[in-house]
């Protein structure tokens, strides 16, 4: 197994000894939902310097076993040993540290208390419970209550480490880097015990799940939709422990019928499709307004390409839960798939927006007073792959400084929450209609907000003010005359017909209302007002399409001139992201491949990995159709040959992408990436572990090509860890 090294521990300097704990305490009352990552405070003494001065550092953790104080103490002990075992470069100086004391804080999101363990070396360890006000409440707690608090804490920790998205770049600008992420379930036999303990905790605290918060698609957490449930399902998928999950869920269902949705979800994960379908049907018979179940059934029908059935279910879901974004969203999707674009736009316009919520992500609790100067970010040397590990940040900042201004800050890239999801729905529509037709559909169903901008109505009394937090671009532009005129000239194609009324008469209230009264009976009455946020999304869509079109046109032009179309990695990456937003996946994948041919980029790598997986599943589903219809065909064997070749190629690319991303994550102290593990598990289930092992062995045995930036080290060890994990949980394909 890969042993943690001292170079895998990032640290930040404290302002004064213990200040990070003081800061955390002062912010306890502001922790919402899942709360922040665990915090570890380390006291360090230099053994080399004469004076016996102590300094304090801290870092964050996820995935550490927090099921009781003893296991945390053991973690701290081994951390102290690790740091004390070797000298290290510390802000340019070689230092040998001794660690006399460490404190670990982990947030119990159920009871809203901070659980803390302090280890003295040499000496004993002690633990504390700190409430929201920063007061120690340990004394007032019975042993039984304390056990319960620890179980809650453990469940909170696991949910946090599962929900914390590994889609994001581990090293994004200004983000949290002084954090180490560990796989909580990759600890041999012991982790089986932890898994069972977690499922036990899930069952026990299921009723408190809403306390942990929920994602952006629903306004309020419910018993069935919340982070506890999300985390639980992710654990089940990761460890493929479907039967354990089903047992627990069936017990819960006896008390709460709506749990049936979760059972059906696990059955689908387990590939027991028929059982799942039957169960969903039963559930709906019992409660035909169970929106979660209707959604699941609708999604199932979408996956089966029965959009007609999905449409009916989505309609019923909307009727059952009209304030949820996700019920409306699937209705939009169904209409889009059925080419009913007018209804798709009307339903999109009715989607309830949720501007106050953010996706869960780990954030700094202790601010860095000295900025990045306070950070000690060593490079782990145990696992390296030259092109990934040697990436120079000055190269990236050069690209940033010289970025094509057309590509800077395309506002669609910064959409958040439900606005991002609504944009996704809109691009699905434009993908099928094209821009010009989309505008026609829009004009057919909507009266545009700007025709009514003067309208007093737009203020207190409508839902429109929910949109004020949309990307700033649009809002600012409309606030001052000139800017919006300039804007108009650049996006002239997007503007709806100019107002005919002008100046004077338009602003006269009596006048305007008379005008409206006269005309409303005809055209306007049949149309609906386009919500301001949707209006804004059309604007952003136009900008994305413009950037995309310019790129494609330039590319053709350069090809005609037989000139090289040169872009930096960062520029290719942005173009790729635009293309992906617009669902031009092929073009996007070319851009990402170009980006990666320049240098490694985690984002491009992750996006192209998605593309490979998408392509493979397209080919696999085409083949399963072909194999039934063409089995008697003459070309069968050539077909099979080609097919095998393409799939093998894609699998190799997927494996390569995973490995590069694992190395990148490892360099940034992230040794737990559920998405990548799931991708590899899927590969193992399709190809068998033996084949994967030998592929890795062939390409990544240490130090093959040290000359051409593909030199590497430790990758097979890193992968061995994952093989062990697959074997431990008997992942599909682990035994062949």
Partner 1 sequence: MVEVSLTVGKLDASLALLLTKDHHLIEFPTILLPNGVKAGSIIKIKCDQDFETEKEEQKKFQEIQDEILSTFGKNLPKSPNLKI
Residue 457 within binding range of partner 1, rule CB under 8 A: yes
Applying CB under 8 A, which of residues 520, 550, 556, 709 lies at the interface with partner 1?
520
Cβ at position 489, least distance to its own copies in Å: 12
Parallel, antiparallel, or unpaired: how do β-strands 528-529 and 446-447 relate? Answer: parallel
Whether 731 and 681 have beta carbons less than 8 Å apart is answered as yes
Token output for 306? 């029965």
In angstroms, give the least distance from the CB of 67 to its own copies: 23
Rounded least distance, CB 354 to partner 1, Å: 15
With CA atoms as reference, report the closest residue to 265 among 254, 253, 255.
Answer: 253
Q: How near is the Cβ of 703 to partner 1 at its closest, in Å?
A: 34
Given the complex with its own copies, which of 32 and 408 has the nearer CB atom? 32
Smallest distance from partner 1 to CB 549, Å: 32
The residue within the footprint of partner 1, chosen from 137, 233, 284, 619 (CB under 8 A), is 284
Least Cβ distance, residue 617 to partner 1 (angstroms): 16
Smallest gap from Cβ 463 to its own copies, in A, equals: 6
Residue 529 interacts with partner 1 (CB under 8 A): yes or no: yes
From candidates 277, 375, 501, 732, binder to partner 1 by CB under 8 A: 277
Any contact of residue 340 with partner 1 (CB under 8 A)? Answer: no
In angstroms, what is the minimal distance from the CB of 479 to its own copies? 6
Q: Does 330 bind partner 1 (CB under 8 A)?
A: no
State the residue for tokens 């957490």.
221
Site string for partner 1, 576-615 (x = CB under 8 A): ----------------------------------------
Of 72, 447, 602, 722, the one binding partner 1 (CB under 8 A) is 447
Q: Which stretch binds partner 1 (CB under 8 A): 76-84, 195-203, 273-281, 409-417?
A: 273-281
Q: What are phi and psi of 535, to 5 degrees?
A: -55, -45
Please state the closest distance from residue 461 (CB atom) to its own copies, in A: 5
331 belongs to the binding site for partner 1 (CB under 8 A): yes
Q: Residue count of the chain, please give it.
A: 736
Based on its alpha-carbon atoms, the radius of gyration of the chain, rounded to whole angstroms, reads 28
If residue 328 lies in a helix (H) or strand (E), which one and from where to where?
Answer: helix 325-337
List the one residue out of 63, 37, 38, 60 whose CA is nearest residue 187: 63
Distance between CA atoms of residues 736 and 724, nearest Å: 14
Buried b (16+ CB within 10 A) or exposed e, 504-530: eeeeeeeebeeeeeeeeeeeeeeeebb
Nearer Cβ to its own copies (466/491): 466
Q: What does the angle CA 564 – CA 569 – CA 575 come to, to the nearest 5 degrees?
A: 80
230 near partner 1 (CB under 8 A): no
Cα–Cα nearest to 262, from 311, 220, 199:
199
What is the DSSP code (8-state) at residue 167? S
| C-alpha pair distances (Å), 550 with each of 127, 248, 537, 557 | 61, 55, 20, 10
Helices (H), 668-710: 674-687, 689-700
User: Per the structure block, which two tokens stand in for 653?
Assistant: 């690319």
3-state secondary structure 88-151: EEECCEEECEEEEEEEEEEEECCCCEEEEEEEECCCCEEEEEECCCCCECHHHCCHHHHHHHHH
Q: State in angstroms the smallest separation of the CB of 521 from partner 1.
A: 6
Q: CB of 149: closest distance to its own copies in angstroms?
A: 14
Q: 674 touches which of its own copies, partner 1, none (CB within 5 to 8 A by kind)?
A: none
Residue 640 interacts, among partner 1, its own copies, none and using kind-specific CB cut-offs from 5 to 8 Å, with partner 1
Instruction: Answer yes or no whether residue 701 interacts with partner 1 by CB under 8 A.
Output: no
| 400 interacts with, out of its own copies, partner 1, none, CB within 5 to 8 A per kind | none
Site for partner 1 contains 299 (CB under 8 A): no
Q: How far is CA 265 from the centre of its chain?
A: 20
Farthest-apart Cα atoms in the chain, separation: 91
Q: Going by C-beta distance under 8 Å and a sequence separation of 6 or more, which residues neighbour residue 466?
A: 352, 353, 355, 533
Q: What is residue 494's three-state secondary structure?
A: helix
Does position 285 interact with partner 1 (CB under 8 A)? The reply is yes
Question: How many chain residues bind partner 1 (CB under 8 A)?
Answer: 56
- Contact residues for its own copies, defined by CB under 8 A: 29-32, 112, 131-133, 207-211, 218-224, 256-258, 287, 289-292, 321-325, 351-356, 454-463, 465-466, 468, 476, 479-483, 486, 503-504, 507-511, 513
131 contact, one of partner 1, its own copies, none, CB 5-8 Å limit per kind: its own copies
Nearest-angstrom CA–CA distance, 129 and 115: 5
CB nearer to its own copies: give 18 or 411. 411
Decide if 320 contacts 332 (C-beta within 8 A). Answer: no
394 is in the binding site of which of partner 1, its own copies, none (Cβ under 5 to 8 A by kind)? Answer: none
Q: Does 309 interact with partner 1 (rule: CB under 8 A)?
A: yes
Q: In this complex, which beta carbon is closest to partner 1, that of residue 293 or of residue 470?
A: 293
Residue 212, both tokens:
């942990």
Decide if 345 contacts 328 (C-beta within 8 A): no
Determine the Cα–Cα distance for residues 220 and 433; give it in Å rounded to an integer.
34
Q: Is 25 exposed, middle or buried (0-12, 13-18, 19+ CB in 10 A)?
A: middle
Binding mask 473-512 for partner 1 (x = CB under 8 A): ----------------------------------------
Could you tell me which stretch among 12-20, 404-412, 421-429, 642-650 binds partner 1 (CB under 8 A)? 642-650
**Which of 198, 300, 542, 668 touches partner 1 (CB under 8 A)?**
300
- In the complex with its own copies, which residue's Cβ is closer, 355 or 716? 355
**Contact partner at residue 65 from partner 1, its own copies, none, CB < 5 to 8 Å by partner kind:** none
Q: Report, in Å, the least distance between residue 273 CB and partner 1.
A: 7
Task: Verify binding: residue 336, partner 1, rule CB under 8 A.
Answer: no
Query: Phi/psi of residue 351, each to 5°?
Result: -60, 130
**What is the rounded CA–CA span in Å between residue 317 and residue 575?**
37
Q: Which tokens belong to 140? A: 């007032």
Contacting residues toward partner 1, per CB under 8 A: 273-274, 277-278, 280-281, 284-285, 288-289, 297, 300-301, 304, 306, 309, 312-313, 316, 318-323, 331, 343, 346-347, 350, 447, 451-452, 455-457, 461-462, 513, 516-517, 520-521, 524-529, 624, 627-628, 640, 643-644, 647
């Amino acid at each position: 197994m890969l042993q943690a090294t001292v170079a895998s521990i990032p640290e930040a300097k404290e302002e004064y000894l213990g200040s990070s704990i003081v800061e955390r305490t002062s912010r306890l009352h502001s922790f919402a939902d899942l709360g922040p990552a665990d915090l570890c405070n380390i006291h360090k003494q230099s053994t080399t310097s004469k004076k016996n001065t102590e300094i304090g550092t801290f870092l964050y953790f996820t995935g550490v076993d927090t099921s009781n104080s003893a296991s945390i103490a053991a973690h701290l002990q081994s951390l102290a040993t690790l740091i004390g075992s070797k000298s290290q470069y510390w802000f340019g100086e070689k230092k040998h540290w001794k660690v006399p004391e460490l404190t670990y804080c982990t947030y119990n999101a159920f009871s809203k208390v901070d659980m803390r363990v302090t280890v003295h070396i040499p000496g004993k360890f002690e633990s504390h419970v700190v409430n929201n006000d920063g007061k120690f409440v340990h004394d007032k707690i019975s042993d039984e209550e304390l056990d319960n608090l620890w179980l809650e804490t453990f469940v909170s920790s696991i949910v946090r480490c599962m929900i914390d998205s590994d889609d994001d770049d581990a090293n994004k600008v200004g983000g949290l880097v002084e954090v180490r992420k560990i796989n909580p379930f990759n600890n041999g036999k012991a982790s089986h015990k932890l898994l069972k303990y977690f499922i036990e905790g899930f069952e026990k605290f299921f009723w408190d799940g809403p306390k942990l918060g929920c994602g952006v698609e629903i306004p309020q957490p419910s018993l069935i939709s919340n982070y506890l449930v999300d985390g639980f399902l992710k654990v089940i998928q990761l460890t493929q422990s479907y039967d354990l999950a089903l047992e627990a869920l069936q017990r819960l269902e006896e008390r709460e019928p709506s749990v049936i949705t979760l059972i059906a979800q696990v059955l689908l994960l387990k590939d027991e499709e028929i059982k799942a379908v039957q169960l969903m049907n039963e559930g709906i018979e019992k409660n035909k307004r169970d929106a979660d179940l209707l959604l699941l059934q609708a999604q199932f029908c979408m996956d089966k390409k029965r959009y007609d059935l999905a449409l009916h279910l989505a309609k019923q879901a909307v009727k059952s839960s009209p304030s949820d974004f996700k019920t409306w969203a699937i209705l939009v999707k169904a209409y889009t798939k059925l080419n009913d674009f007018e209804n798709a736009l009307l339903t999109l316009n009715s989607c309830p927006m949720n501007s106050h919520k953010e996706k869960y992500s780990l954030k700094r609790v202790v601010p860095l007073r000295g900025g990045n100067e306070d950070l000690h970010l060593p490079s782990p040397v145990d696992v390296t792959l030259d092109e990934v590990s040697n990436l120079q940040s000055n190269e990236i900042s050069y690209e940033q400084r010289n970025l094509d201004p057309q590509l800077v800050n395309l506002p669609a890239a910064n959409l958040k929450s439900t606005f991002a999801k609504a944009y996704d729905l809109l691009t699905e529509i434009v993908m099928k209609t094209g821009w010009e037709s989309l505008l026609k559909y829009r004009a057919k169903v909507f009266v545009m907000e700007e025709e009514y901008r003067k309208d007093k109505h737009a203020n207190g009394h409508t839902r429109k003010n929910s949109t004020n937090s949309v990307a700033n671009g649009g809002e600012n532009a409309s606030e001052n005359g000139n800017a919006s005129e300039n804007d108009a000239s650049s996006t002239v194609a997007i503007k709806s017909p100019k107002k005919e009324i002008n100046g004077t008469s338009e602003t006269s209230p009596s006048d305007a209302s008379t005008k409206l009264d006269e005309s409303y009976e005809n055209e306007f009455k049949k149309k609906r007002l386009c919500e301001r946020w949707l209006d804004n999304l059309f604007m952003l869509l136009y900008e994305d399409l413009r950037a995309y079109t310019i790129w494609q046109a330039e590319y053709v032009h350069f090809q005609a001139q037989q000139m090289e179309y040169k872009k930096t990695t960062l520029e290719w990456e942005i173009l790729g992201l635009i293309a992906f937003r617009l669902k031009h996946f092929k073009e996007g994948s070319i851009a990402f491949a170009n980006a990666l041919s320049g240098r490694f980029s985690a984002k491009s790598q992750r996006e192209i990995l998605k593309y490979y997986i998408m392509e493979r599943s397209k080919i696999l589903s085409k083949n399963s159709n072909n194999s039934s219809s063409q089995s008697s065909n003459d070309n069968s064997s050539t077909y099979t040959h080609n097919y095998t070749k393409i799939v093998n190629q894609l699998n190799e690319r997927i494996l390569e992408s995973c490995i590069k991303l694992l190395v990148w994550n490892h360099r940034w102290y992230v040794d737990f990436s559920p998405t990548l593990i799931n991708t590899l598990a899927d590969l193992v289930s399709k190809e068998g572990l033996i084949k994967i092992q030998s592929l890795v062995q062939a390409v990544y045995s240490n130090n093959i090509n040290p000359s051409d930036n593909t030199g590497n080290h430790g990758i097979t060890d890193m992968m061995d860890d994952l093989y062990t994990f697959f074997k431990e949980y008997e992942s599909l394909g682990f035994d062949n």
